[in-house]
Amino acid sequence: MKTHRNDGCGWSTALAVIGGKWKTDILWELHLGRRRFGELRRLLPGISERILTLQLREMEADGIIRRDVFAEVPPRVEYSVTEFGLTLNQAVTAMSHWGKAFEARAAGRSAAAAPLSKAG
């Protein structure tokens, strides 16, 4: 397991575990089912192979995902969410709801701050 800075309340640790730009997207795709590297690459447009590899390695080191290598020719590798990784769903869902509420609030504030057009 990767070592993270201890902040006393766990907040910094939690953000470090899911804080990569793509980690929540990867977690979502793996929550839906086992995926191979190429599948993840196609499902996450914009992510480079290097970043996907780094994010997967970090998540595996943190025990959030599992990497299964099958003894086949050619070798087959599949990624899936661990039981411990599934416990993140509740936290990530709560953050998603908060983010949507924040966006709605900000949009309401922007609309209220916009000047009214005068009909001519």
76: Cβ contacts below 8 Å, ≥ 6 apart: 36, 69, 70
Closest CA to 56 of 38, 72, 39, 37: 37
**pLDDT range class, residue 56, cuts 50, 70, 90:** very high
CATH topology classification for 11-101: Arc Repressor Mutant, subunit A (1.10.10)
* pTM > 0.85: yes or no: no
Q: Where are the domains of the chain?
A: 11-101
pLDDT digits (tens, 9 = 90+) for 4-19: 666 677 888 888 888 8
Q: What is the pLDDT of residue 10?
A: 82
Order of strands across the sheet that contains 76-81: 35-36, 76-81, 65-70
